[in-house]
Chains A and B, each alone.
Chain A
Amino acid sequence: MSSPAPSAPRTGGRDVAVVAFAQSNHTRHTDQLSEVELVMPVLHDVLKQTGLTANRIGFTCSGSSDYLAGRAFSFTMALDGVGAWPPISESHVEMDGAWALYEAWVKLRTGEADTALVYSYGKSSPGSVRDVLTRQLDPYTLAPLWPDSIALAALQARALIDAGLTDERRLARTAVRSRRAATANPHAQLRGSADVEDLLRRPYEVEPLRRHDCPPISDGAAAVVLAAGDAARALHANPAWIRGVDHRIEAHQPGVRDLTDSPSTRLAATAAGAFDAPFDAAELHAPFTAQEVVLRRALDLDDRVRVNPSGGPLAANPVMAAGLIRLGEAAALIHRGEAGRVLAHATSGPCLQQNLVAVLENTGGGTR
């Protein structure tokens, strides 16, 4: 960890809340849609929820990947769809939309805008996403070996099994729980699951992971609207206030890290105030079953906390949007009055290298 431990809580700045969330119905293929066509209905949906129009948004921030689009500056196409004329204040991160949300949160906290539109999208279907993801790795020592995302996750899963922290049966239970939870989520791609015994009879993908331990390959998009202070209160009866949000990163080489632990998650959670009070639910961005084990340990989540009531990324995993969806689903629980305090987590990089933690609550005031 290259950063010192956080000390005093952040003070000052304005309270910021999620006031709207929308997402696509995530699917395995969207051959007939461009990325712009994938994201536009979601943007219309999220703006309609607030009654805002694009020209009344103070700041726009998006997350996507040129490696999925197969062309440079691909986000400008989506931005044209949003409407960038007359000139708007906007930014883009080549990261999951959760990090775009973080940038927008900073913008609102500092008073540079009162509202923000955050969106992200990923269309994985044109290529082989598990191979494409090898291109995010160290170009000298890792990428030339083409270790795909499932292989790296399998190394992490083996380390967890060796350490006695999980086993294949418990991992299968996580898969079943997630995909059965997704039966209540009309946007999820995989809804429902065979039982554990059936799953354990199926072949390995990369041992010790079977297909059910891996996320589906998804095309999809998501968007949220953030608003500060009175603007948030005017836009939603139950704003989901962001009490804290922080992100931290670890060394890139998987062989430098203890793959059974996530000190970056714990550090981000501490800075976000996650350990100050218990949670009603948590939305964790753990694309592989074994990664939920790591995150539960880092976040001290016990069985009383509902984890991924939406089904989580095991039920739909649009790369670049799946982290933002965790924040959106967490906010939606508060919007609907189903939870008072929810943890949202997003990850990036191989084997949970980088992690973002946000704490959302139904009561305003006192943002850390």
Chain B
Amino acid sequence: MPPEVLSAPLIVEFPFTRSTGPVLGAFLTGLRERVVLGARGSDGRVLCPPAEYDPVTAAELTELVPLGQLGTVTTWAWNERPRPYQPLDTPFAWVLVRLDGADTALLHALDAPRHAVRTGMRVAIRWTEERSGAITDIACFEPVPEAADAPDAAPPTRAEAPPHDHGR
């Protein structure tokens, strides 16, 4: 028999405050106002979440682009047993969502039944009621009924978003 092991709870904390700067700061402030911003990269691609520096060239990025509230699932994983602090406490899908107007995908949760989830499905942001300027201001994504995804039904920011053009 091994000896009895003494144990005690340990709460690890990171007791610092950080400033978020002009790119992430604008992104997080935008979420508070129900606006999602992307950053235009060196090659013209729109990155969301926005990056302060281009992932390929490392150039400093400053141009922010408003994006749509709808997007497309690029990959997903079904989470039958949510863990503490995760966005939903009922079964949900982890998703990468490419928002309309963006060329990269954002990680979040999708509240949908398992049988409805697939790559390529259309989803919309579900906002929290009280927003604080954090990624969790997006409560989760939810499926978009096909009729609601017609161009006329899309929010204005979607129509203004630049078209996908990888050739720029």
Tell which of A91-99, A148-156, A304-312 binds the partner: A148-156
Interface residues of A toward B: which range?
35 or more
A211→B47 CA distance, assembly (Å): 34
Q: Is B106 an interface residue (CB 8 A)?
A: yes
Residue numbers in B under 8 Å from A152 (CB-CB): 94
Q: Residues 114-130 of chain B: 1 if any A CB is under 8 Å from the residue's CB, otherwise 0?
A: 00000100000000000
A226→B135 CA distance, assembly (Å): 46
A157→B84 CA distance, assembly (Å): 23
A259→B75 CA distance, assembly (Å): 10
A131 CB, nearest partner CB in chain B, Å: 6
Q: Is A164 an interface residue (CB 8 A)?
A: no
Q: Is B90 an interface residue (CB 8 A)?
A: no
User: Is A140 in contact with B55, judged by CB distance below 8 angstroms?
Assistant: no
Q: Is B80 an interface residue (CB 8 A)?
A: yes
Residue numbers in A under 8 Å from B57 (CB-CB): 2
User: Is A158 in contact with B76, judged by CB distance below 8 angstroms?
Assistant: yes
Q: Is B157 an interface residue (CB 8 A)?
A: no
Q: Which of A156-197 contact B (CB under 8 A)?
A: 156-159, 162
Q: A146-B83, A255-B105 are in contact. Are A207 and B77 (CB under 8 A)?
A: yes
Q: Is B150 an interface residue (CB 8 A)?
A: no
Q: A253-B49, A256-B51 are in contact. Are A141 and B107 (CB under 8 A)?
A: yes
A156→B77 CA distance, assembly (Å): 9
CB closest chain-B residue, reference A142: B107
Interface residues of B toward A: which range?
35 or more
Q: Is A70 an interface residue (CB 8 A)?
A: yes
A144→B108 CA distance, assembly (Å): 10
B2 CB, nearest partner CB in chain A, Å: 5
Q: Is A254 an interface residue (CB 8 A)?
A: yes
Residue numbers in B under 8 Å from A147 (CB-CB): 86, 94, 107
Residue numbers in B under 8 Å from A145 (CB-CB): 86-87, 107-109, 135-136
Q: Residues 72-96 of chain B: 1 if any A CB is under 8 Å from the residue's CB, otherwise 0?
A: 0011111110011111000000101
User: Is A131 in contact with B107, judged by CB distance below 8 angstroms?
Assistant: no
Residue numbers in A under 8 Å from B7 (CB-CB): 31
User: Is A158 in contact with B83, judged by CB distance below 8 angstroms?
Assistant: no
A142→B24 CA distance, assembly (Å): 13
Q: Is A1 an interface residue (CB 8 A)?
A: yes
Q: A67-B12, A146-B85, A151-B94 are in contact. Are A141 and B106 (CB under 8 A)?
A: yes
User: Is B119 in contact with A158, judged by CB distance below 8 angstroms?
Assistant: yes
Residue numbers in A under 8 Å from B98 (CB-CB): 255
User: Is B75 in contact with A251, judged by CB distance below 8 angstroms?
Assistant: no
Q: Residues 137-151 of chain B: 1 if any A CB is under 8 Å from the residue's CB, otherwise 0?
A: 000000000000000
A141→B74 CA distance, assembly (Å): 18
CB closest chain-A residue, reference B48: A255
Q: Is B56 an interface residue (CB 8 A)?
A: yes
B39 CB, nearest partner CB in chain A, Å: 11
- Can you give 16 A-B contacts (C-beta < 8 A)? A1-B56, A2-B55, A32-B2, A131-B83, A140-B24, A140-B134, A147-B94, A147-B107, A154-B78, A156-B75, A158-B119, A207-B77, A209-B77, A255-B97, A255-B104, A256-B51
Q: Is B10 an interface residue (CB 8 A)?
A: yes
4 further A-B contacts with Cβ under 8 Å, apart from A144-B135, A156-B75, A253-B51, are A31-B7, A140-B49, A140-B134, A206-B80
A155→B105 CA distance, assembly (Å): 12
Q: Is A204 an interface residue (CB 8 A)?
A: yes
Q: Residues 13-27 of chain B: 1 if any A CB is under 8 Å from the residue's CB, otherwise 0?
A: 000001010001001
B114 CB, nearest partner CB in chain A, Å: 8
Q: Is B70 an interface residue (CB 8 A)?
A: no
Q: Residues 228-258 of chain A: 1 if any B CB is under 8 Å from the residue's CB, otherwise 0?
A: 0000000000000000000000110111100
A326 CB, nearest partner CB in chain B, Å: 26
User: Is A131 in contact with B84, judged by CB distance below 8 angstroms?
Assistant: yes
User: Is A206 in contact with B94, judged by CB distance below 8 angstroms?
Assistant: yes
User: Is B47 in contact with A256, judged by CB distance below 8 angstroms?
Assistant: yes
User: Is A2 in contact with B75, judged by CB distance below 8 angstroms?
Assistant: no
Q: Is A323 an interface residue (CB 8 A)?
A: no
